[in-house]
């Protein structure tokens, strides 16, 4: 193993995993762990490995073992997110969620990124594993005290619960509000007559809602508040005490919906608020992006399968 070339080590390990059933034996796991031990950039390698293995296997006992083994490479000072991977493994093993890919395999520079969905349900799809890192580094580490995170689009509760865990790890007490109608399409035009009335019997059989509750319960999430309602109408009733710290817009992705979402929450934003857009390749999200750029926001895009974008007002 070339200790000066961590990329080479990643490639070698990837090749072994893809070509052999290495995870099916404890010896195989020991071999992988030994390769990791010899490699130069252990943390990066371990992360790559966990991504590749989760993609290949969709969650198994062996993956968990690998990730447990990763712990011995961790620098105690490091803000590594392997605790999140362990929690995700727990959900995969319990059959609460499944790994899925959007539009086939999406290769980023080094490895395959992947998403999740609730078991037995094709939609909604969560943020990707790589986007967890991006959200941590761009949305959460520097969020000011007292400001909330507002997520439009709970889905099956994955992104909000992951953010909840990360805030705990950062010892931050910011509140997360996550809004969803849990109506299949979320199409505002279709549900407009009902405004925010979501009958309890509808929620009882809604897989996304039930999975969101289960994830919060399994992970002991206390800092996420579920807001049931249809955007934009629900924001007539919403009133945060301080301007929003981060608005994560990941609700309906059709027609004018992202723009409607933004216009409904604009009154809760100030110059320090960040706006994060998911699926920025979608035409509907592009419309909102154009509006935000015309208002003076600067955008930072991150290399992720769903092209997450972080928008800020220049200081």
Ligand X SMILES: C[S@@+](CC[C@H](N)C(=O)[O-])C[C@H]1O[C@@H](n2cnc3c(N)ncnc32)[C@H](O)[C@@H]1O
Cβ 81 to ligand X shortest distance, Å: 16
Among 41, 252, 259, 280, binds ligand X (CB under 6 A): 252
Among 112, 206, 223, 231, binds ligand X (CB under 6 A): 231
Calculate ∠ Cα 153-154-160, nearest 5°. 120
- Based on CB atoms, which residue is closest to ligand X, 14 or 259? 259
Decide: residue 238, CB within 10 A, 0-12 exposed, 13-18 middle, 19+ buried: middle
Residue ranges in 256-285 that form contacts with ligand X under rule CB under 6 A: 257
158 binds ligand X (CB under 6 A): yes
124 cis-preceded (ω within 30 degrees of 0): yes
The interface mask with ligand X, positions 161-200, x = CB under 6 A, is ------------------xxxx---x-x------------
The residue among 224, 92, 90 whose CA lies nearest residue 157 is: 224
Q: How far apart are CA 84 and CA 129, in angstroms?
A: 10
251 binds ligand X (CB under 6 A): yes
First and final CA of the chain: distance in angstroms?
46
Are the beta carbons of 278 and 127 closer than 8 angstroms? yes
Cβ 109 to ligand X shortest distance, Å: 22
Cβ 151 to ligand X shortest distance, Å: 6
Using CB positions, name the residue nearest to ligand X: 186
Among 6, 59, 124, 258, binds ligand X (CB under 6 A): 124
Among 6, 153, 164, 258, binds ligand X (CB under 6 A): 153
Are the beta carbons of 230 and 258 closer than 8 angstroms? no
Give the single-character DSSP code of 269.
-
Helices 283-294 & 257-265 angle (0-180, nearest 10): 40
- Based on CB atoms, which residue is closest to ligand X, 31 or 282? 282
Q: How far apart are CA 314 and CA 271, in angstroms?
A: 8
Number of residues forming the site for ligand X (CB under 6 A): 22
Are the beta carbons of 243 and 268 closer than 8 angstroms? yes
Cβ 177 to ligand X shortest distance, Å: 12
Binding segment for ligand X among 41-49, 153-161, 216-224, 268-276 (CB under 6 A)?
153-161
Cβ 141 to ligand X shortest distance, Å: 19
Among 208, 224, 265, 285, binds ligand X (CB under 6 A): 208
59 binds ligand X (CB under 6 A): no
Mind giving me the DSSP string for 25-83? SHHHHHHHHHHHHHSS-HHHHHHHHHHHHHHHHSS-HHHHHHHHHHGGG--TT----HH
Cβ 181 to ligand X shortest distance, Å: 4
Where do contacts with ligand X occur on this chain (CB under 6 A)?
124-127, 153-155, 158-159, 179-182, 186, 188, 208, 230-231, 250-252, 257
């Amino acid at each position: 193993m070339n200790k000066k070339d961590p990329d080479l080590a990643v490639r070698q390990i990837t090749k072994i995993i893809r070509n052999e059933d290495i995870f099916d034996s404890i010896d195989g796991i020991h071999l992988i762990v030994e390769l990791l031990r010899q490699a130069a950039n252990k943390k990066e390698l371990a992360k790559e490995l966990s991504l590749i293995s989760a993609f290949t296997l969709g969650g198994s006992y062996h993956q968990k073992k690998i990730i447990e083994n990763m712990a011995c490479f961790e620098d105690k000072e490091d803000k590594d997110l392997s605790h999140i991977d362990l929690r995700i493994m727990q959900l995969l093993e319990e059959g609460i969620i499944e790994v899925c890919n959007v539009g086939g395999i999406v290769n980023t520079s080094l490895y395959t990124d992947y998403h999740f969905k609730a078991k037995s349900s094709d939609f909604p799809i969560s943020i990707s594993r790589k986007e967890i890192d991006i959200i941590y580094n761009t949305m959460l580490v520097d969020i000011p005290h007292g400001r909330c995170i507002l997520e439009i689009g709970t889905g099956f509760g994955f992104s909000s619960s992951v953010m909840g865990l990360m805030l705990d790890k950062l010892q931050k007490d910011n509140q997360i509000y996550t809004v969803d109608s849990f109506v299949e399409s979320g199409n505002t035009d279709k549900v407009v007559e009902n405004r925010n009335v979501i009958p309890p019997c509808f929620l009882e059989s809604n897989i996304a809602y039930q999975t969101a509750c289960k994830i919060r319960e399994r992970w002991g999430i206390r800092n996420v508040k579920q807001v049931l309602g249809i955007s934009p109408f629900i924001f007539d009733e919403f009133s945060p005490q301080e301007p929003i710290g981060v608005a994560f817009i990941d609700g309906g992705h059709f027609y004018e919906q992202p723009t409607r979402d933004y216009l409904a929450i604009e009154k809760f934003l100030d110059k320090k608020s960040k706006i994060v857009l998911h699926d920025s390749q979608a035409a509907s999200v592009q419309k909102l992006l154009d509006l935000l750029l015309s208002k003076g926001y600067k955008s930072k895009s991150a290399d992720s399968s769903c092209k997450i974008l972080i928008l800020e007002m220049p200081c």
